[in-house]
Amino acid sequence: MAAKDRQANRTRDHLAALFFLVVLLSLWFVSRISWTSGPLWMAEAQDGEGAPAETQVDRSSGNRPDHNHPAFEERIEERQAMVLHQIRARDIKDPNVLRAMRTVPRHAFVSADRQREAYHDYPLPIGKGQTISQPYIVAFMTDALQLDPNAIVLEIGTGSGYQAAVCAEIARQVYTIEIVEALAESATKMLKELGYPNVAVKFGDGYDGWPEKGPFDAIIGTAAAVRVPPALVAQLRAGGRMILPVEDASGFQYLILIRKEADGTLSRRRVMPVRFVPMTGKVRESAGATDR
């Protein structure tokens, strides 16, 4: 009888130890889930391993975005989800780009009836036959420029002003040109309301660039050209980068990434097939040119 009791006690001890081990494993598993599914900024910090550290920007300067407008406090979770699922999941890792995309209120740049779609994975119309680009494309093009807080940026095709605002979160100054006067006016108003003193908008044809403000560390085009405008190449600083959509002879569009070397030579490569609205103005007059 005593032997049976000892065996029963050992069995109970083993079961108790097994139960305790199961509890410990369950607590560990729950803690792991809580960590990885917690606030998105935590997940992004983990995902940034191996990426360059976020550049610290001096926001005490009067020429930096002030983020005081109520729109910055709206739809925060939608912006975080956009970055998590649409941008970071597609291998955009620069923390400065991720921060900019989390910060800029895209819904402020679209009409009220489109704001529920503002953080969806597609472009949206902004009137005058123009669109606000897909968030991923905005992030991809910004990432390709490798901006830093000292960068001076030229944008061709202001549109709503959203891309300019994203660049302005990182760069020191953004100059942007819009050929549609109504859009130039509305973008100027919105960027001012949102508190972007480091963005200057000009109404005009971007084909000739903005020579009096150059040279530029980075140039970005947000409408499809039939050739790379020579003036933009001339205004790109040595060591600078330019990205813009270019339409080839068959009608297909590709993002072209150009880098100007110290000796003025250019390296260029196609990085992605895209579909942008066409660039209008002088660039169409040179449609027969071969230097695409």
Q: How confident is the model at residue 7, as a pLDDT?
A: 60
- 292 vs 275: CA distance, rounded Å: 17
Contacts of 200 (CB under 8 A, 6+ apart): 173, 174, 175, 176, 213
Q: What is the CB-side half-sphere exposure of residue 88 using CA atoms within 13 A? A: 25
Q: Are residues 119 and 252 in the same domain?
A: yes
Q: Are residues 16 and 133 in the same domain?
A: no
Q: Are residues 151 and 273 in the same domain?
A: yes
Q: Are residues 21 and 96 in the same domain?
A: no
- Per-residue pLDDT of 227-246, as tens digits, reads 899 999 999 999 999 999 99
- Provide the number of structural domains found in the chain: 2
Q: How confident is the model at residue 250, as a pLDDT?
A: 86
Q: From start to end of 32-189, where are the E strands?
A: 124-127, 130-132, 152-156, 173-178
Q: Are residues 14 and 94 in the same domain?
A: no
The enclosing domain of 225 has a CATH number of 3.40.50.150
Residue ranges for the chain with pLDDT beneath 50: 22-50, 289-292
Q: Looking at 111, 133, 186, 250, which residue is catalytic?
A: 133
Q: Are residues 29 and 52 in the same domain?
A: no
Q: Is residue 180 part of a domain?
A: yes
Instruction: Output the six-digit token pair for 245.
Output: 């959509």
Q: Are residues 129 and 162 in the same domain?
A: yes
Looking at residue 267, the DSSP 8-state letter turns out to be E
Q: Are residues 195 and 126 in the same domain?
A: yes
Q: Is residue 43 part of a domain?
A: no
Q: How confident is the model at residue 23, as a pLDDT?
A: 44
Residue 61 annotated among the catalytic residues of the structure: no
Q: Is residue 42 part of a domain?
A: no
Residue keyed to tokens 């970055």: 83
Q: Are residues 7 and 139 in the same domain?
A: no
Question: Are residues 168 and 174 in contact, defined by beta-carbon separation less than 8 angstroms?
Answer: yes
Sign of CA dihedral 282, 215, 220, 160: negative
Q: Are residues 20 and 52 in the same domain?
A: no
> What range does the domain containing 22 cover?
2-37
pTM: predicted TM-score of the whole model, two decimal places: 0.80
Q: How confident is the model at residue 154, as a pLDDT?
A: 98
Residue keyed to tokens 């503002």: 118
